[in-house]
A and B are shown apart, each in its own frame.
Chain A
Amino acid sequence: MASRTYAYFPGCTLRSHAHEYERQALAAGQALGIDLVELPEWNCCGATFPLNAENVMDLIAPARVLIAGGKAGGDLVTLCAVCFHVLRRTANFLQTHPFALERLNAFVEEGPYDGQLRPRHLLEVVRDDLGWAEIRQRVTQPQAGVRLAAYYGCMLLRPGPEIGLDDPEQPSVLENLIEAVGAQATSFSHSSECCGSYLAATQPGAVERASLRVVEAARAGGAAAVITACPLCKYNLEQAQREQPEESRLPVAYFTQLLTIAFGVDAPESAPWIVGAPA
């Protein structure tokens, strides 16, 4: 089995809150012959992509990650949907705005950055570099009869033409992954509706309302769990249900856990859609 190596950027949340996401990704990667090699030095991506024209300084944080990625060679892969969004858009921006790139390189010691690196998400790597047939081949615990809701959130998909991961209105990569492990992707009207995002820190009530709408739509579609690729989505969807009795909460799991369970790396009985409690 050919081994593929990718530079890997964890991001701050994976190291502090979402340890499981990283553990699962590395384990699933191993089963797939994917080597995720952490960047020797990295910083927070900044958690937002600046939406204003003036300040190139706002791009320094993600740019330094891109520079580190460029030095590591090959593709740079991340797991967090927000990191992916920020890095992808930063790379696009610097590639198409030479003046901004020049100013940025004047400020950053680690550079220069040549504006060429294209950061990727693990979902993309699985779909495009490996293919679903490879996934199916490694499934030892097919998740037959398991009904899962594919939740994309916002940052993986939008803005569609710029991010270019999937069709923002009718995406399919998560559904395809769910089906590749033998499970069933349920119809889910809120698959790309916002969970509330960073407002978790400032408007918890608004976030709870937004996240509950997502949870209820997943439930209405008959899902046993929600599959996600974003630590903030997972946090928000779980937090929104914390007032409910444990046995009635809809579990939320990373797509990487779907792989570790299906590959037999994690014990099948530990699957959140079986246990029924948040992982």
Chain B
Amino acid sequence: MDCGGAGMSEARPSALVIGAGIAGIQAALDIANSGYRAVLVESEPSIGGHMAQLSETFPTLDCSQCILTPRTVEVGHHANIDLRTYSLVEDIRRSKDGSAFQVRIRRKAAYVDWSKCTGCGACQEKCPFKVESDFERGVGVRKVIYTLSPQAVPNKPVIDAEHCRYLISKHEIESGTVAALTKSGKPAEPKCGACAKFCPTEAIDWDQKDTYEELEVGAIVLATGFDLMSPAQLGEYGGGQLPDVVDGLAFERLLAASGPTAGRVLRPSDGQEPRNVVFIQCCGSRDPARGQPHCSKICCMYTAKQAILYKHHVHGGEATVFYIDVRAAGKGYEEFLQRAQVQEQVNYIRGKVSRVYAENGHLVVKGADTLGHRSVDVIADMVVLAMAVQPRPETRRLAEMLDLAIDDSGFLCGLDEELAPIETLQSGVFLAGTVQGPRDIPESVAQGSAAAGKVIQRLRQQGGEAAA
């Protein structure tokens, strides 16, 4: 079976971890290092979640890839972790005695045989077609056959069937949409196929199908993470219409050395360096009227981080942050914020922006300075929106499948939100990371370990065998 990960010992898997962001990765590693087996399922072709998209992390300004990669590589090589990327959990049923779960996993057709693929990258180089990349959040493109990054674990590509010329034309021929014979009488051939021509190990498999796997586990960790509310939902900020109004993750991709602009901060509209960037906090958060009621917790900190990094990248650039209340409650956070405001001279203005519009090639930000008792208009080259953190649609699907409680914002609820935040109403199902609500990396890592602890506790109680 084509699963793309190491770890092929014979012992029965003991735990399922759904989601391979930093929380899921930590949970899987702790379970695996305790001698139990973990099946780690991830919907993307490779692991790392949002942390893989970041340039640096707050408040340390560590290079995100640099601190993440040791973990992802460890996952990729771990004897006790069965890594199932590009896969979805289709169904979960509790066993009759309640102690275990029967799980069905669907591995999406990648059209690449990962057991033959060496990760050489020739296919990506030779693929003639580029499409918008979700990973690049609207500011970059990828090839139709792609890995998410050069450091991807596993470093094996998938083909985006929706945009692949070969697969589309193959389907048209097979379904009769186009003629089976060309004008000269020869059988019609699908178009392109460049990747297959250049693959040194003949790993392209045009006939690959989705595959299904049934397994039984003793415990489950849900670590399916978060997404950001779409800027298109805030028409007054020009979201979705003005190319130079982007969300925080898109700005991260511009800052990242491995990003589409190789770490140069450039405006999407004209590729020029912005001399003046406005950051707007609370976009869709703390907004029961038109968005989410909750505070997204991480935005004050990542905005400060991005403003600092922007000023490092663009010497002499002006950064302005429009905020309502700055939340800097974690370790080292207040100090980081003071660094932004004092040493780095990021302009902090207290007031929620009413609207953003385009004029003469710039952006006009209509804001207010409630502390200075005046309205404030800022002319900016780029605007970065700290959009609300919200659960992925996948989370709701899993909640329904497992009959779990969700809160008003759609995040999963712990068994007791104060004293049992990792456990859920379902015994044996545990939570880790932003699936439960907005939180930062240290918290997500800690919860990954906490969930692993609960899993190990349960498996020990049930007498589950630990792998050698």
Shortest Cβ distance from A210 into chain B, in angstroms?
A: 13
* Residues 360-374 of chain B, each 1 if its beta carbon lies under 8 Å from chain A, else 0: 100010000000000
In whole angstroms, how far apart are the Cα atoms of A217 and B366 in the complex?
A: 15
Check B359 against A189 for contact (C-beta < 8 Å): yes
With an 8 A cutoff between CB atoms, is B446 at the interface? no
With an 8 A cutoff between CB atoms, is B166 at the interface? no
Contact of B364 among A169, A187, A189 (CB under 8 A): A189
In whole angstroms, how far apart are the Cα atoms of A169 and B358 in the complex?
A: 14
Check B358 against A167 for contact (C-beta < 8 Å): no
Contact of B359 among A167, A169, A170, A220 (CB under 8 A): A220
B contact residues around A189 at 8 Å (CB) = 357-359, 364
For A216, the closest partner residue in chain B by CB is B359
Most-contacted residue by chain B among A167, A187, A189, A220 (CB, 10 A): A189
With an 8 A cutoff between CB atoms, is B293 at the interface? no
Shortest Cβ distance from B99 into chain A, in angstroms?
A: 50
Contact of B241 among A170, A217, A220 (CB under 8 A): A170
A contact residues around B358 at 8 Å (CB) = 187, 189
- Of residues 186 through 200 on chain A, the ones whose CB sits less than 8 Å from some CB of chain B are 187, 189
With an 8 A cutoff between CB atoms, is B200 at the interface? no
Q: Please give the number of chain B residues whose Cβ is less than 8 angstroms from any Cβ of chain A in the complex.
A: 9
Interface band, chain A: under 10
With an 8 A cutoff between CB atoms, is B442 at the interface? no
Shortest Cβ distance from A127 into chain B, in angstroms?
A: 19
B contact residues around A169 at 8 Å (CB) = 234-236
In whole angstroms, how far apart are the Cα atoms of A217 and B236 in the complex?
A: 16
B contact residues around A217 at 8 Å (CB) = 359
In whole angstroms, how far apart are the Cα atoms of A187 and B241 in the complex?
A: 12
* Residues 218-237 of chain A, each 1 if its beta carbon lies under 8 Å from chain B, else 0: 00100000000000000000
B contact residues around A167 at 8 Å (CB) = 235
Check B235 against A220 for contact (C-beta < 8 Å): no
Shortest Cβ distance from A256 into chain B, in angstroms?
A: 27
- Of residues 168 through 193 on chain A, the ones whose CB sits less than 8 Å from some CB of chain B are 169-170, 187, 189
In whole angstroms, how far apart are the Cα atoms of A170 and B236 in the complex?
A: 7
* Residues 7-23 of chain B, each 1 if its beta carbon lies under 8 Å from chain A, else 0: 00000000000000000
- Of residues 18 through 38 on chain A, the ones whose CB sits less than 8 Å from some CB of chain B are none
In whole angstroms, how far apart are the Cα atoms of A202 and B379 in the complex?
A: 32
- Of residues 359 through 394 on chain B, the ones whose CB sits less than 8 Å from some CB of chain A are 359-360, 364
Shortest Cβ distance from B221 into chain A, in angstroms?
A: 40
Check B235 against A170 for contact (C-beta < 8 Å): yes
- Of residues 49 through 75 on chain A, the ones whose CB sits less than 8 Å from some CB of chain B are none
For A170, the closest partner residue in chain B by CB is B235
B contact residues around A187 at 8 Å (CB) = 358
- Of residues 19 through 39 on chain B, the ones whose CB sits less than 8 Å from some CB of chain A are none
In whole angstroms, how far apart are the Cα atoms of A220 and B364 in the complex?
A: 14
A contact residues around B359 at 8 Å (CB) = 189, 217, 220
* Residues 69-89 of chain A, each 1 if its beta carbon lies under 8 Å from chain B, else 0: 000000000000000000000
Shortest Cβ distance from A253 into chain B, in angstroms?
A: 23
In whole angstroms, how far apart are the Cα atoms of A189 and B364 in the complex?
A: 10
For B234, the closest partner residue in chain A by CB is A169
In whole angstroms, how far apart are the Cα atoms of A217 and B357 in the complex?
A: 11
B contact residues around A220 at 8 Å (CB) = 359-360
Shortest Cβ distance from A78 into chain B, in angstroms?
A: 26
In whole angstroms, how far apart are the Cα atoms of A132 and B105 in the complex?
A: 49
Give the B-binding residues of A (Cβ under 8 A).
167, 169-170, 187, 189, 217, 220
A-B contact pairs, 14 of them (CB 8 A): A167-B235, A169-B234, A169-B235, A169-B236, A170-B235, A170-B241, A187-B358, A189-B357, A189-B358, A189-B359, A189-B364, A217-B359, A220-B359, A220-B360
Known: A187-B358, A217-B359. 12 other contacts (CB 8 A): A167-B235, A169-B234, A169-B235, A169-B236, A170-B235, A170-B241, A189-B357, A189-B358, A189-B359, A189-B364, A220-B359, A220-B360
Give the A-binding residues of B (Cβ under 8 A).
234-236, 241, 357-360, 364
- Pairs A-B, 10 closest by C-beta atoms: A169-B235, A189-B357, A170-B235, A169-B236, A189-B359, A220-B359, A167-B235, A189-B358, A220-B360, A189-B364
